[in-house]
């Protein structure tokens, strides 16, 4: 009995999530003209196993926190995005898209600021000795 084992098996949901991330980023960059979302970047997509629902994580470049306008803008663009994705992708069901602000960049900026403060405090303490 021979058993074939691949080094890495990808779930279909992961492949669809990656495809959605690429296509949504392209559509937002090239087709959506809403000024509220011009600095929005798609950071990731999570798709449920049944491919019926997708959480699209986004951040806003140049901002530490999400503006209300950007959130309203991406939610208003959802219908247009689904139509465009339907034209581009060959999926039996187009997942319901839910936009979620990705707070990881905000958290990372806060950590960087704290590390810089500690570094500055250490250099001041060494200078007093």
CA–CA distances in Å: residue 118 to residues 67, 86, 105, 114:
29, 50, 20, 6
Distance (Å, whole) CA 32 – CA 28: 5
Q: Closest Cα partner for 40 from 107, 95, 100, 113?
A: 100
pTM of the full structure: 0.75
Q: Where do the structural domains in the chain lie, given as residue ranges? A: 12-102
Supply the pLDDT for residue 60. 86
- Superfamily of structural domain 12-102: K homology (KH) domain (3.30.300.20)
Model pLDDT for residues 77-95, shown as the tens digit of each residue: 999 999 999 999 988 889 9
Lowest mean pLDDT among 14-23, 24-33, 107-116: 107-116
Supply the pLDDT for residue 127. 66
């Amino acid at each position: 009995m021979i058993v074939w084992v691949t080094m890495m098996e990808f779930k279909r949901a992961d492949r669809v999530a990656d495809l959605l991330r690429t296509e949504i980023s392209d559509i937002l960059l090239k087709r959506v003209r809403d000024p509220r979302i011009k600095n929005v970047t798609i950071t990731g997509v999570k798709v449920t196993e049944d491919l019926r629902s997708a959480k699209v994580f986004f951040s806003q470049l140049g901002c530490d926190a999400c503006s209300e306008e950007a959130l309203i803008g991406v939610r208003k663009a959802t219908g247009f995005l689904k139509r465009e994705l339907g034209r581009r992708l060959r999926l039996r069901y187009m997942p319901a898209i839910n936009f979620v602000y990705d707070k990881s960049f905000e958290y990372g900026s806060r950590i960087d600021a704290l590390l810089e403060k500690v570094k500055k405090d250490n250099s001041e303490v060494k200078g007093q000795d």
